[in-house]
Amino acid sequence: MGRMEYFLEIFFGGLTRGSIYALIALGYTMVYGIIQLINFAHGEIYMIGAFTALIVAGVLGSLGMPGYAILLLTLPIAVIYASAYGFTVEKIAYKPLRSAPRLSPLISAIGMSIFLQNYILLAQTADFLPFPNLLPYFDLPDFVGGILTSSEVTIVITAALVMAGLTSFIKFTRMGKAMRATAQNQRMAMLVGVNVDQVISLTFIIGSALAAIGGVLIASHIGQINFYIGFIAGIKAFTAAVLGGIGSVPGAMLGGLVLGWTESFATGYVSSDYEDVFAFALLVLILIFRPAGILGKADSQKV
C-alpha cells in the first residue's frame, strides 16, 4: 500500500471517529449552552442507546427480518428510548436543582452517570457483548475500496445529514429560535413568553437522540459494547466540546473532527499507545492559546 493510500485511510478513519465524537459532543454543548451544566450522564445515554439497539436488533433478527429493515426499526426505537432517558434524567436530577449553587447539579450529574452505568451493569452484564453490524454493506468503486469501508461511508454521511438537520432546526424553526434565545438570556426569554422548561426538555431530548444515533453507528462499526463504553466516549466527546468551544454548536462539530483526526493520525503514524496522549496534549495546547475553545466566545458571561 502506498503512502498516500495509508494517509487517506487514516484520514477517513479519523473522519468516522470524529463524526461520532461530534454527534455526542453536541449533546454536551447544547445542554451547557442552555443551562451551563456539564451533563456527565450524557455518555450513559449514548451507552443506553446502543444497548437498546442491541436488544431490539436481537429480537428483530431472530424473527428473520432483513438487515435494512432491522436498522430502520432499531434506530428510531433506540433514539426514542434514549431520549426518554435524557428527558427523565433532567426532570429527576437537574430540574429540582436549577436554582441551587452550580456545583450541586454537577454532582447530581456525576451521580446519575454512576447510577446508570451500574443499572446497566446489573440489568445486563459486565461482559463485552457482540453487536451485529446493522450498517448496510455496499460495494465501493475500486479506487476507494482500499481506503475506506462502506460502514465508514454510512457513518460519515448519516452524521453529516443529522448535523445539517440540527443546524437548520436551530437556525430556522420556532423552537430553534427559542433555544437560541434561552441560551443568550434565559430570564429575558421567559419574559417574552418562551416556555423555558419546555426548551430545556427539548434540548435534552435532541442531545440524547444524537447520542443514541452515534451509539448505534459506532457499536455497529466496532462490533461490541459493554456498560462502560459511555464513560470513555463521554470523556472524549466532552473533550471535543471543550476543544471546539463549549456552548457552540459548530464548535462541537469541529472539535469532534479535530479530535478524531488527532487520535487517528497519532495511532497511524506514532503508536496506538499514544492516542490519548496526543488528544489531550492538543486540548491543553488549544486551551492555552484559545481558552474559550476554537469557536467559543469569551464574552459569554452574563451580568
Partner 1 sequence: MAEAGPVLDVRNLTMDFGGLRAIDSVSLDIMPGEIVALIGPNGAGKTTFFNCVTGLYTPTSGEILLSARGQRKRLNGLKPNHITALGMARTFQNIRLFPHMTVLENVMIGRHCRTRSSIFGAIFRPPATRQEEAESIEISYGLLKEVGLTALVDETANNLPYGAQRRLEIARAMATEPALLLLDEPAAGMNPSETRELQALILRLREKHDLSILLIEHDMKLVMSLSDRVCVLEYGTQIAQSTPEEVSRDPRVIKAYLGEEADA
Query: Residue numbers of the site for partner 1 (CB under 8 A)?
Result: 169, 173-178, 180-181, 184-185, 187-196, 202
Shortest reach from residue 193's CB to partner 1, in Å: 3
The residue (of 8 and 175) whose beta carbon lies closer to partner 1 is 175
R_g of the chain computed on alpha carbons: 19
Shortest reach from residue 179's CB to partner 1, in Å: 11
Rounded distance between C-alpha atoms, residue 72 and residue 76, angstroms: 7
Shortest reach from residue 191's CB to partner 1, in Å: 5
Q: How far is CA 67 from the centre of its chain?
A: 24
Shortest reach from residue 302's CB to partner 1, in Å: 10
Are the C-beta atoms of residues 29 and 169 closer than 8 Å to each other?
no
Shortest reach from residue 185's CB to partner 1, in Å: 6
Shortest reach from residue 253's CB to partner 1, in Å: 18
Q: Vertex 167, ends 94 and 71: CA angle to 5°?
A: 80
SS (H, E, C) 192-234: CCCCHHHHHHHHHHHHHHHHHHHHHHHHHHHCEECCCHHHHHH
In sequence order, what are the beta bridge partners of 129? 225
The residue (of 18 and 247) whose beta carbon lies closer to partner 1 is 247
**DSSP string spanning 116-176?**
HHHHHHHHS-SS-EE----SPP-PPPHHHHTT--HHHHHHHHHHHHHHHHHHHHHHHSHHH
The residue (of 198 and 271) whose beta carbon lies closer to partner 1 is 198
The residue (of 158 and 264) whose beta carbon lies closer to partner 1 is 158
Rounded distance between C-alpha atoms, residue 263 and residue 278, angstroms: 7
Q: Which of 44, 205, 52 is nearest to 134 (CA)?
A: 52
The residue (of 125 and 195) whose beta carbon lies closer to partner 1 is 195
The residue (of 3 and 174) whose beta carbon lies closer to partner 1 is 174
- Phi/psi for 126 (5° steps) reads -85, -15
Shortest reach from residue 169's CB to partner 1, in Å: 6
Rounded distance between C-alpha atoms, residue 30 and residue 208, angstroms: 11
The residue (of 230 and 245) whose beta carbon lies closer to partner 1 is 245
Rounded distance between C-alpha atoms, residue 252 and residue 288, angstroms: 18
Shortest reach from residue 183's CB to partner 1, in Å: 9
**DSSP string spanning 32-47?**
HHHH----TTHHHHHH
The residue (of 104 and 201) whose beta carbon lies closer to partner 1 is 201
